[in-house]
Amino acid sequence: MIIDLHDTTTRDINKRLVEERDEGGVVALGRVLTLVIDAGDHDPEEAIAAANEASREHPCRIIVLSTIDERADPHLAAQIRLGGDAGASEVVVLYPAGELRDHLDTLVTPLLLPDAPIVVWWPFEVPANPAEHPVGRMGVRRITDTTQCSNPTARLRALAGVYTAGDTDLAWTRATLWRGLIAATLDQPPYEPVHGAVVRGEATHPSMDLMAAWLAWALKCPVEIDRIPGAPAITEVRLSRSGGDIVLDRPDGKTAELHQPGQPSHRIALPIRQLKECLVEELRRLDPDEVYGEVLTKGLTKVPA
């Protein structure tokens, strides 16, 4: 069910939500959080679709801020999505115009679920300081996605300078499986120290930088980044040890091969992670990701830009 409200207020939106809940049997029980999506002036539909899918594992109220309305006069339009159009959630899309775009936090506040944690997600442009952004101040977690920025590497390094506990970036989440495979490999004999590493992949993909930063931070060894224009995200991680190199290679973006000295090669399904998967992973935890914080603020300084 989709309900369009062309000239409205947050009070009227709340009233309509209660009416639909009472009259149509739509309930908000069991909602575990409020997810606020600040889409800026981009089309929010891809982010809404990912959030709807994620809500099947994390039932929530989704509040979307979209500033695509360019009218100068103060005006608020909204859309309420319930039932099959909202996954396991209630979706409220707000379209503020004029000076209302400068007061997004005041629009969000009346629609928050009481006593539920708030997660803020910027799926496109990243604010200069997420924790100091008017909407970001509300969140216990703040999710950015530097892969969508015009200069991802520079933006990631700028975020390192303003990191606050509770911040995270989906470029970090996209590399979770790589980190897990490498950690599992290093947990096996012969337990030799790694004296150097190389990360290869798409030239501007920030997951490359975060993977290299994690290796430098965790292994305390020099790490090089080999940037290849047009490659499918991370394509290879090579760890150099005295007994021979460990190589995790994924040239096609789908299947990886693990090569270790004295062992047969292993083929591993390692597809590029979709937006929905990354969002689901981040919504599983509402406490700060301390490893991400360490890697961003300490590991990133150890790798070349």
Q: For 214-244, how does the pLDDT look when each residue is reduced to its tens digit (9 = 90+)?
A: 999 999 999 999 999 999 899 999 999 999 9
At position 81, the amino acid (one-letter code) is R
Q: Are residues 112 and 85 in the same domain?
A: yes
Q: Are residues 137 and 248 in the same domain?
A: no
Range of the domain at 252: 176-269
Domain boundary among 170, 205, 240: 170
Q: For 30-60, how does the pLDDT look when each residue is reduced to its tens digit (9 = 90+)?
A: 688 999 999 999 999 999 999 999 999 989 9
Domain boundary among 170, 185, 214: 170
Residue 295 lies in a domain: no
Q: Are residues 115 and 250 in the same domain?
A: no
Q: Are residues 244 and 153 in the same domain?
A: no
Span 110-131, average pLDDT: 96
Domain boundary among 128, 148, 170: 170
pLDDT at 85: 65
CA distance 135 to 143: 12
- Number of domain units in the chain: 2
Return all residues near 83 (Cβ < 8 A) that are at least 6 apart: 1, 26
Residue 24 lies in a domain: yes
pLDDT at 129: 98
Is 29 a residue whose pLDDT tops 90? Answer: no
State the DSSP code for 183: H
Q: Are residues 108 and 164 in the same domain?
A: yes
Return all residues near 105 (Cβ < 8 A) that are at least 6 apart: 134, 135, 137, 138
Residue 217 lies in a domain: yes
Q: Are residues 189 and 68 in the same domain?
A: no
13-to-20, 90, 106, 118 alpha-carbon distances in Å: 11, 12, 14, 19
pLDDT at 40: 96
Q: C-alpha 295: how far from its chain's center?
A: 16
242-to-161, 190, 247 alpha-carbon distances in Å: 36, 10, 14
pLDDT at 25: 55
CA distance 86 to 79: 11
pLDDT band at 21 (very low <50, low <70, confident <90, very high): confident
Residue 292 lies in a domain: no
Lowest mean pLDDT among 18-32, 47-61, 241-255: 18-32
Return all residues near 4 (Cβ < 8 A) that are at least 6 apart: 77, 78, 79
Q: For 59-106, how does the pLDDT look when each residue is reduced to its tens digit (9 = 90+)?
A: 999 999 999 988 889 999 999 998 776 676 889 999 999 999 999 999
Q: Are residues 13 and 142 in the same domain?
A: yes
Q: For 166-203, how does the pLDDT look when each residue is reduced to its tens digit (9 = 90+)?
A: 999 999 999 999 999 999 999 999 999 999 999 999 99
pLDDT band at 18 (very low <50, low <70, confident <90, very high): confident
Residue 274 lies in a domain: no
DSSP for 248-281, written as a single string: EE-TTSSEEEEE-TTS--EEEE-PPPPHHHHHHH
pLDDT at 71: 85
Residue 42 lies in a domain: yes
141-144, strands of its sheet edge to edge: 2-5, 75-81, 90-97, 60-66, 33-40, 118-121, 141-144, 167-169
Is 130 a residue whose pLDDT tops 80? Answer: yes
Q: Are residues 141 and 160 in the same domain?
A: yes
What's the chain's average pLDDT? Answer: 93
Residue 252 lies in a domain: yes
Q: Are residues 195 and 256 in the same domain?
A: yes
Residue 285 lies in a domain: no
Q: Are residues 162 and 244 in the same domain?
A: no
Question: What tokens does 259 get?
Answer: 């090569």
Is 275 a residue whose pLDDT tops 70? Answer: yes
Q: Are residues 97 and 200 in the same domain?
A: no
CB 215 within 8 A of CB 185: no
Q: Are residues 123 and 67 in the same domain?
A: yes
CA distance 121 to 143: 5
